[in-house]
Amino acid sequence: MIIDRTHARWCYFVLIFTGLLALSYLIYVHTSMVPPTGGTILGLIYGILAFLIMAFVSLLGARKKVPAWRIGRATTWLKGHLWLSLLLIPLLLFHSGFKSGGPLTVVIWMIFAIVMASGLLGIILQQMLPRLMTEQVRMETIYDQIDHVLQQVRYETDIQITQLVGPLGVELIVPEGATAAKIKEGIPQPGSEQLKKFYLDRVRPSLDPAVPVDATFNSATKINTFFEEARLVLPPNFHATLDTLRDVMEECRQLERQKTLHHWLHGWLFCHVPLSVLLMVLTLIHIVTALWY
Amino acid sequence: MKLFAILPPLEAVAENKLEQGTPLSLEELLKISIFQGVPKPLLEKNLGAVVLRRFRKGEVICREGEQGSTAFYILTGTAQVMIKTPFAHLKTKSTSRWGHLFSKMTSLFVNKRDDPRAQDTIAYIPIDAPVDLSYQDPVATLKIGDLFGEMTCLSFYPRSATVVAGESCEMLEMLQNVLQICQRNPTFKKQLDDNYRERALVTHMKSVPLFKTVSDDYLKQLKAKVTLVSYEPGTVICSEGDTADALYLVRIGFVKVTKAFPGGEMVLSYLPRGSFFGEMGLLGYVQDERRRSLRVPVHIPAKLTLKDQTDPIDVTVADLSNHGALLKTDHPIATNQGLLQFTISIEGTITRVQVQIRRTMESEDSATTIGVEFENMNELQATQIRQIYQKSSTTGVRSASCTALDHVELVRVGFEEMRTMMKLFPSVQEQMKKAAENRESANRYLMSVPRDVPLDDFLDHGLIQAQNLLILDLSKCTRCDACTEACAATHDGVTRLVREGLRYDNYLVATSCRQCMDPLCMVGCPVGSIRRKDSLEIIIEDWCIGCGLCARNCPYGNINMHPFEALEEDHKNPGVMKPVVKKKATTCDLCTDLPEPSCVYACPHDAAHRVDPKSFFGFQGSTPEGVSVSNLETTK
């Protein structure tokens, strides 16, 4: 989510609320000469508020499971998730009186720190990566379809080359859900063998969806250079084919790039979500333990 | 009556023989009236393209939605033509008892009785046969001499209706080449036209909302006065700016209505059978007082013997009321009805003109030059002239161009007939006014799209929309697919949105109905159930037969086929009903039952927006970087 002017109200709210919390904390410290802890009324209020906020921010995941429910716009939920989570920092600090407490609370503090850090990382990534993906991956497709598209690209390229140079001598893998095309094998022309060898040895391995793109093809400049050099080696009648192969390779590179960026864009959630759940569980244990004893 | 005594009795013929049909010899074909007059060699070449088919009572001849390539001509017996798919349109409705709180929408199939929609005025359903089906009871009878399946045969559109043999019957099943031979045969053409005029024209006219209130007696009188005209694919029926001289009803085929637009041409509509056009011009909605043009049909004089229609002809028109000043004309076209058509540009007022026609290739001296004065011309032409001369005349010029998309047959109701009808039945004029006003406001809307928009992009990408676009701001979108999941969750698990589409700068125009410049989805709908409302929104009528042609035609994959269960008679066990899965076409409904579209509501990153394209592209075209989505009008 891009942090823009639409977040201003949330930001002011958090700042003002933090100010009020700090004021109440300072007044308490000034009047009673000791900081509040979980056992004091004010400390307990801080704790209850923190728990309610934790419960609310945890519900974001549940809200996503019912996208059709009209229980507030998803964007409002996410803004609430981001900004109210920040309030947890002063609330928990004031609740604990700036002390780490026992082993359980130490663990809670550590997990809280990781969850907050991963969340902040998520915000930073979501600020940057969508724009980066838009700029760098002009041939973007739906993430789940990438492998299928790559299979399709390889199959179509195989057919195209077969039509030019005759049988490739490798198994042409028909993409899932597609039907095998009837291939009209071309009559080998001068230089066909050269093109075939070039395709099979240098290009085709990088078209395999299961294999990451070769370092030779990991930038548009490198791809251009590679195919410019190939033009010097292969006869002119195959130059148009080289242009096609260059475009194909560029598409594969972009889709690979999309995969990478997508993993970064969503990968942090694998840390953030489970630890948030764990944090919630530990917090509940903390509450029960605190109330019990 | 058995036409072919040589054939064994129907009962003795094996089922598979019936399925295949019986090829006919040249002699047998020539016995049939529709082939009389057709050159023998031509018929001989196409012998395999026509067969005799015989059907038992109740046997299905063709089924709605099926692909086909043949037309049927009834020789003996009758057939019942009907639409079996239940009449309903897909409606998504919030069924929650908690207001919109848990708004899972349910897809309901409702008909217009339960859910009347704006502009739901069509009472008859156009099909590929010489009859229309009533919405209330969509069954009709086809008789001897009727031809059905013409559009399937000529343009390969899916079958529009199910046809069942009403009694034991014999039919000719023919392929395109034979049908075209028949259509060129004046005897056959006349027979079809007479049949149509006698049996279907009144119903057809009654099916047009304009004529709803016109009495049957008057329509019976009118049927002799109207002209039945046909056009080959690509022929311009009328051009924008032409003088309006008639109202047209579409009888067969599709008429493409286009309007010149800055930077290109906008397809306003594809008019199927049952539609009408020409009312705006007749009512004078588009007037140009200074410069007018008149399309003049002149009978080609007998002494000007033309070799064929391409014979070069020159036409000179002199304004006799202005000392013989020459008037501008366009290139004359000779029609196959023996008429020469050309358009005269007129400025100011004229009273008398003289037309001279000669062959271009011949020298001035030897050329056949004749003079034609309008006063001496037939009534139709005189009427047109009167329209120009009379200052008080209400006629105007055509507001759009109409072109035959495929083989088109039209019913032409002349200006005089329309004027008389409007006098006798004032509601006709009211209806015409209403229709013209709606179309005019739609046209005005189109013309209001900002001129500085890079229109080529619009045209190329089909991004000119009347209502809404779903755009995704790719600089905000994290590709979480919450929008598509929300759409699916809202619409019974079937998403109507795919997060893929055209990119316009940093915006992705996601796949949902765009109400394109050229709505290809409308082309070929065998029952005319997909159409554009005057607001340009695409609407799918109740009688969609689920053939899926619109879904295949939509270049953006924006039309989905929504399955539903219906009961249908089991072909193997007559009389036994069995559940079958039928389909209805549907487009994005903008979640109209909800305060905001689900996709927009469920986007956590504020990246999805329904925007008014006019305001969006209005400044998107000039300053893409400066666009702030928060400033866009998010439509609800």
Asked whether residue A172 falls in the same domain as residue A235, the answer is yes
Cα(B582)–Cα(B64) distance, integer angstroms: 12
Q: Is A10 left (phi over 0), alpha (psi -120 to 50) or beta?
A: alpha
Between positions 256 and 285 of A, the ones with CB within 8 A of B are: 262, 265-266
Mean pLDDT of B284-304: 53
Indicate whether B498 pLDDT > 90. Answer: no
Contacts of B607 in chain A (CB under 8 A): 130
Q: How confident is the model at residue A23 (pLDDT cuts 50, 70, 90)?
A: very high
Q: How confident is the model at residue B332 (pLDDT cuts 50, 70, 90)?
A: confident
Between positions 497 and 526 of B, the ones with CB within 8 A of A are: 498-500, 503, 506
Asked whether residue B525 falls in the same domain as residue B397, the answer is no
Instruction: Give DSSP secondary structure letters for B555-582.
Output: TT---EEEEEEEEEE-SSSTT-EEEEEE
Mean pLDDT of B83-98: 66
Of B101, B605, B606, the CB nearest to A69: B101
Nearest CA in chain A to B608: A75
Model pLDDT, residue B305? 61
Contacts of B105 in chain A (CB under 8 A): 68
Using the 3D structure, point to which of B173, B207, B241 is the last residue of a domain. B207
- A182: Cβ contacts below 8 Å, ≥ 6 apart: none
Mean pLDDT of B326-340: 69
Asked whether residue A14 falls in the same domain as residue A128, the answer is yes
Mean pLDDT of A164-188: 78
Distance from CA of A160 to the nearest CA of B (A): 25
* Greatest distance between any 2 Cα atoms in chain A: 96
Model pLDDT, residue A75? 92
Question: Is B13 in CB contact (< 8 Å) with chain A?
Answer: no
Contact, B275 vs B541, CB < 8 A?
Answer: no
- B264: Cβ contacts below 8 Å, ≥ 6 apart: B455, B456, B458, B459, B517
Domain count for chain B, please give it.
Answer: 3
- In degrees rounded to 5, what are phi and psi of residue B326? -80, 140
Of A67, A75, A266, the CB nearest to B605: A75
- Of B83-92, B378-387, B527-536, the range with the lowest mean pLDDT is B378-387
Asked whether residue B436 falls in the same domain as residue B468, the answer is no
**Residue B381 vs residue B54, higher pLDDT:** B54
First to last CA, chain A: 42
Distance from CA of A74 to the nearest CA of B (A): 4
Indicate whether B534 pLDDT > 80. Answer: no
**What are B275's two structure tokens?**
């539609």
Q: Would B601 be classed as within a structural domain?
A: yes
Contacts of A141 in chain B (CB under 8 A): 500
Model pLDDT, residue B280? 79
Nearest CA in chain B to A77: B604
First to last CA, chain B: 65
Asked whether residue A106 falls in the same domain as residue A199, the answer is no
Q: How confident is the model at residue B468 (pLDDT cuts 50, 70, 90)?
A: low
**What are B259's two structure tokens?**
């309007």
- Of B172-176, B464-468, B514-518, the range with the lowest mean pLDDT is B464-468
Mean pLDDT of B263-289: 69
Q: Would B594 be classed as within a structural domain?
A: yes
Contact B474 A133 (CB under 8 A): yes
Count contacts between A and B (CB, < 8 Å): 92
Beta bridge partners of B264: B261
Compute and round to an integer the Cα radius of gyration of chain A: 29
Contact, B65 vs B193, CB < 8 A?
Answer: no
Q: How confident is the model at residue B184 (pLDDT cuts 50, 70, 90)?
A: confident
Asked whether residue B487 falls in the same domain as residue B612, the answer is yes
Model pLDDT, residue B629? 33
Indicate whether A263 pLDDT > 90. Answer: yes
Q: How confident is the model over B131-172, as pLDDT tens digits?
A: 888 877 888 888 888 889 888 888 778 888 899 998 888 898
Asked whether residue B440 falls in the same domain as residue B494, the answer is no
Q: How confident is the model over A132-168, as pLDDT tens digits?
A: 999 999 888 888 889 889 999 999 999 989 888 888 8
Cα(B487)–Cα(B467) distance, integer angstroms: 19
Model pLDDT, residue B361? 53
Distance from CA of B190 to the nearest CA of A (A): 48
Cα(B267)–Cα(B399) distance, integer angstroms: 13
Each as own residue / partner, the long-range contacts of residues B488-495 (CB below 8 Å, 24 or more positions apart, any chain) are B489/A66, B489/A67, B489/A68, B489/B104, B489/B598, B490/A67, B490/A68, B490/B92, B490/B103, B490/B104, B490/B105, B490/B591, B490/B594, B490/B598, B491/B92, B491/B105, B491/B107, B492/B105, B492/B106, B492/B107, B494/B107, B494/B560, B494/B562
Cα(B258)–Cα(B251) distance, integer angstroms: 19
Greatest mean pLDDT among A15-24, A201-210, B437-446, B529-538 lies in: A15-24
Contacts of A73 in chain B (CB under 8 A): 596, 601
Asked whether residue A159 falls in the same domain as residue A117, the answer is no
Amino acid in the structure at residue B224: A
Q: Which domain holds residue A288?
A: 5-138+268-292
Cα(B251)–Cα(B130) distance, integer angstroms: 8
Of B476, B604, B630, the CB nearest to A74: B604
- Give the best residue of B472, B479, B500, B629 to mutate against chain A (max A CB count within 10 A): B479
Closest CA to A154 of A137, A138, A175: A175
Question: Is A141 in CB contact (< 8 Å) with chain B?
Answer: yes
What value does the mean pLDDT of chain A take?
89
Distance from CA of A46 to the nearest CA of B (A): 29
Q: How confident is the model over A186-245, as pLDDT tens digits?
A: 777 788 888 999 999 988 988 888 887 778 888 899 999 999 999 898 888 889 999 999
Model pLDDT, residue B378? 39
Contact A68 B480 (CB under 8 A): no
Q: Which domain holds residue B627?
A: 459-631
Q: Would B220 be classed as within a structural domain?
A: no
Residue B86: DSSP 8-state = P
Question: Is A62 in CB contact (< 8 Å) with chain B?
Answer: no
Beta bridge partners of A230: none
Distance from CA of B582 to the nearest CA of A (A): 24
Model pLDDT, residue A225? 92
Q: Would B333 be classed as within a structural domain?
A: yes
Indicate whether A264 pLDDT > 90. Answer: yes
Model pLDDT, residue A27? 92
Closest CA to B623 of B468, B448, B452: B452
Cα(A48)–Cα(A52) distance, integer angstroms: 6
Asked whether residue B148 falls in the same domain as residue B171, the answer is yes
Contact, B159 vs B35, CB < 8 A?
Answer: no
Amino acid in the structure at residue B561: M
- B245, HSE (Cβ side, Cα atoms, 13 Å): 22
Q: How confident is the model over B591-616, as pLDDT tens digits?
A: 766 778 888 999 999 898 887 665 66
Mean pLDDT of A25-31: 90
**Residue B533 vs residue B153, higher pLDDT:** B153
Using the 3D structure, point to which of B207, B240, B265 is the last residue of a domain. B207
Model pLDDT, residue B620? 43
Asked whether residue A248 falls in the same domain as residue A147, the answer is yes
Model pLDDT, residue B537? 63
Asked whether residue B348 falls in the same domain as residue B443, the answer is yes
Residue that the structure tokens 């020539």 belong to: B30
Asked whether residue B499 falls in the same domain as residue B609, the answer is yes
Contacts of B103 in chain A (CB under 8 A): 68-70
Asked whether residue B312 falls in the same domain as residue B365, the answer is yes
Each as own residue / partner, the long-range contacts of residues A232-235 (CB below 8 Å, 24 or more positions apart, any chain) are A233/A194, A233/A198, A234/A191, A234/A194, A234/A195, A234/A198, A235/A190, A235/A191, A235/A194
Contact B486 A2 (CB under 8 A): no
Mean pLDDT of A23-39: 85
Asked whether residue A193 falls in the same domain as residue A282, the answer is no
Mean pLDDT of B95-116: 59
What value does the mean pLDDT of chain B take?
71
Asked whether residue B604 falls in the same domain as residue B483, the answer is yes
- B235, HSE (Cβ side, Cα atoms, 13 Å): 15
Q: Which 3 state secondary structure label does DSSP give B418?
A: helix
Contact, B248 vs B410, CB < 8 A?
Answer: yes
Closest CA to B470 of B310, B372, B345, B597: B597
CA B268 to chain centre: 11
Model pLDDT, residue B424? 84
Model pLDDT, residue B205? 81
Contact B594 A262 (CB under 8 A): no
Asked whether residue A132 falls in the same domain as residue A180, the answer is no
CA B385-B387-B391 angle, 5° bins: 120
Domain count for chain A, please give it.
Answer: 2
Q: Would B215 be classed as within a structural domain?
A: no
Q: How confident is the model at residue B123 (pLDDT cuts 50, 70, 90)?
A: low
Model pLDDT, residue A104? 93
Model pLDDT, residue B293? 53
Asked whether residue A118 falls in the same domain as residue A162, the answer is no
CA B72 to chain centre: 22
Contacts of A75 in chain B (CB under 8 A): 603-606
Residue A275: DSSP 8-state = H
Q: Which 3 state secondary structure label does DSSP give B125?
A: strand
Asked whether residue A102 falls in the same domain as residue A222, the answer is no
Q: How confident is the model over B373-421, as pLDDT tens digits?
A: 444 333 334 444 444 333 323 456 777 889 988 888 898 888 888 888 8
Show the beta-strand stretches assigned E in B25-77: 50-55, 60-62, 71-76
- Of A69-83, B75-89, B292-306, the range with the lowest mean pLDDT is B292-306
Model pLDDT, residue B367? 42
- Of B64-78, B95-109, B181-195, B222-236, the range with the lowest mean pLDDT is B95-109
Contacts of B476 in chain A (CB under 8 A): 1-2, 130
Distance from CA of B485 to the nearest CA of A (A): 7
Asked whether residue B332 falls in the same domain as residue B357, the answer is yes
* CATH, residue B267: 2.60.120.10
Model pLDDT, residue A81? 95
**Residue A201 vs residue B456, higher pLDDT:** A201
Question: Is A26 in CB contact (< 8 Å) with chain B?
Answer: no
- Of B331-340, B383-392, B420-429, the range with the lowest mean pLDDT is B383-392
Q: Would B115 be classed as within a structural domain?
A: no
- B439: Cβ contacts below 8 Å, ≥ 6 apart: B268, B280, B399, B534
Asked whether residue B181 falls in the same domain as residue B240, the answer is no
Closest CA to A98 of A22, A174, A164, A185: A22
Model pLDDT, residue B365? 43
ipTM score here? 0.86
For the CA atoms of A149, A151, A155, A156, what is the dihedral angle to 10 degrees?
10
Show the beta-strand stretches assigned E in B143-210: 147-148, 162-165, 169-174
Asked whether residue A55 falls in the same domain as residue A150, the answer is no
Greatest mean pLDDT among B172-176, B499-503, B569-573 lies in: B172-176
Asked whether residue A231 falls in the same domain as residue A158, the answer is yes
Of B101, B474, B503, the CB nearest to A70: B101
Closest CA to B243 of B280, B281, B213, B189: B281
Contact, B447 vs B233, CB < 8 A?
Answer: no
Asked whether residue A116 falls in the same domain as residue A238, the answer is no
Cα(B499)–Cα(B557) distance, integer angstroms: 12
Contact A78 B604 (CB under 8 A): yes
Asked whether residue B60 falls in the same domain as residue B188, the answer is yes
Closest CA to A245 of A179, A137, A161, A155: A161
Q: What percent of chain B has pLDDT over 70?
A: 63
